[in-house]
Amino acid sequence: MGRKRGRDIDGWLILDKPLGPTSTDMVNKLRWAFDAKKAGHGGTLDPLASGVLPIAFGKATRTIPYIMDATKRYRFTLTFGESRTTDDLEGEVLATSPNRPTDEQILAVLPALTGNVMQVPPVFSALRVGGERAYDMARAGRPPELPPRPARIDSITLVERPDADTAVFDVQSGKGVYMRSLARDIALACGTVGHISVLRRTKCGPFDLSHALTIDQISLDKSTQTVDNADALPAPLLDAATALVDIPALAVTDAEGRVLVWGQSIDPSDLVHPLPASSQGEDHLWRAMIGEHVLGLCHVRHGRLRAARMLENHEFFGEHDVDYRRTPHGTDF
């Protein structure tokens, strides 16, 4: 009798996404290859973009929001002289300009595009307008007028000028920043038009290209499976908690860990390893750990330490775990 399809596997696979397929295409392909029950990705890359695409399996999907919010790095090539409907090579030419900025002109406009700025997203984006995707409306000949949105751009570095028509940039940014919009805005600020011709993500949260595997490095051919290796993964996975390494650690005892896992709260002053007084604000996240093992994330809410998102449940503590929901101190540890 065959094994039921869909394995409980947990962890991150960092894919060096190739040009062409969508991020969802790659998640579906790898979910099938790993025979995984649950999978998702930590930040969309356009079909014409390559680079770091974190793919989460099982418990790791619980940490996707923290990867989506994480700092990212990109390298892109801006081609001057043509604006396009999609702000990249895929679109049709909208306008042309003979103007080609000098290095000095480019460097002069970058400070105004750095920091907390307002950015107009590309009309070919996945944003919803009245229940429809913006790119569906644009393809139907009804491109929406998208309002500017807050964006955080930490740094823009001019890396090189291969020729007068192109410039290569490194960018570090926060969540939801569109590189296609940034390239468009750099060109406009320089008195010309332009579009992205090459885009590559080099870092996404704690993951960078040193962690990434190409699709050719992942064993996708199931015809080579035998009885002896049927349960082997097509590629090794990083631990689910790897996504949280940038969040400060908080050592907790077994008893404190049980309380958090059960969804109960703790007075911070009762912790064996107390929180620093300067870090008890309600927007501060902690990575709750027993020894070297990560239980999940916690934060202070209404003056008490509570679970924000747990990777583990009560089964982690074994069959003899105490049900803290039924003990008097479960709500006032």
Q: Which pLDDT value is given to residue 328?
A: 36
Which of the four pLDDT bands, split at 50, 70 and 90, describes residue 167? Answer: very high
Cβ contact 219:235 at 8 Å: yes
Mean predicted confidence (pLDDT) in 82-105: 95
Q: What is the pLDDT of residues 6-46, one digit of tens each?
A: 888 999 999 999 999 999 999 999 999 999 999 999 988 98
Say yes or no to pLDDT of 332 above 60.
Answer: no
Q: What is the pLDDT of residues 40-64, one digit of tens each?
A: 999 889 899 999 999 999 999 999 9
Query: 112 in helix, strand or coil?
Result: helix
For residues 168 and 280, which has the higher predicted lDDT (pLDDT)?
A: 168
Mean predicted confidence (pLDDT) in 134-144: 81
Pick from 2-16, 132-146, 191-205, 216-230: least confident: 216-230
Say yes or no to pLDDT of 258 above 60.
Answer: yes
Mean predicted confidence (pLDDT) in 239-250: 91
Cβ contact 257:242 at 8 Å: no
End-to-end CA distance of the chain: 49
68 phi and psi, to 5 degrees?
A: -60, -35
Query: 315 in helix, strand or coil?
Result: helix
Q: What is the pLDDT of residues 284-329, one digit of tens each?
A: 889 999 998 999 999 999 889 999 999 988 777 774 444 444 433 3
Q: Which pLDDT value is given to residue 326?
A: 40
Cβ contact 29:220 at 8 Å: yes
Mean predicted confidence (pLDDT) in 234-262: 92
Active site residues: 46
Mean predicted confidence (pLDDT) in 108-113: 98
